[in-house]
Amino acid sequence: MRFCAACLLGLLFGCALGPTLPSYALSDAEKNAVVRGIYSYSPIQDKPTVRTFKAATNSSGEVYVCGWMHSDREYYRDPEQAYTGTLSAGQFSAERIGKDANTNAIVVAKCHERGISM
């Protein structure tokens, strides 16, 4: 019985984590492109501190980037915000930046779908 429960949990959590994509180490230039992309995405022209960069690449070569940034601006309801986007040809296109607990959870879930743990 325990074996069946363990198998079931393994299947459930394995599906929930999404595909495992190869991790990708960002260069300093790519990290700078991510920061510039986040700055241009920000609706209040804020310059938040980008704390973490985690990346993975899929079979077609797209590089997905996720991480956390910090801002004290009142626009963001939490001081820590999750972000996600795609890096291509030296340009980072931010898809979403969280601004409260709910939207941060959505961003983290999107990253997990892409195989990036946060």
CATH of the domain at 28: 3.10.450
35-84 confidence digits (pLDDT tens): 999 888 876 566 788 999 999 998 888 899 999 998 776 655 677 889 99
Domain region containing 58: 20-113
Handedness of CA 93, 78, 109, 13 (dihedral sign): positive
pLDDT band at 19; cut points 50, 70, 90: low
Q: How far apart are CA 42 and CA 106, in angstroms?
A: 18
Residue 10 lies in a domain: no
Q: Are 42 and 97 in contact (CB under 8 A)?
A: yes
Q: How far apart are CA 83 and CA 67, in angstroms?
A: 6
Residue 106 lies in a domain: yes
Query: Please, where are the H alpha helices in the chain?
Result: 2-16, 28-41, 101-113
State the total domains in the chain: 1
Q: Which range among 6-20, 27-41, 103-117 shows the weakest confidence by mean pLDDT?
A: 6-20
Burial status of residue 65 (CB atoms within 10 A of its CB: 0-12, 13-18, 19 or more): buried
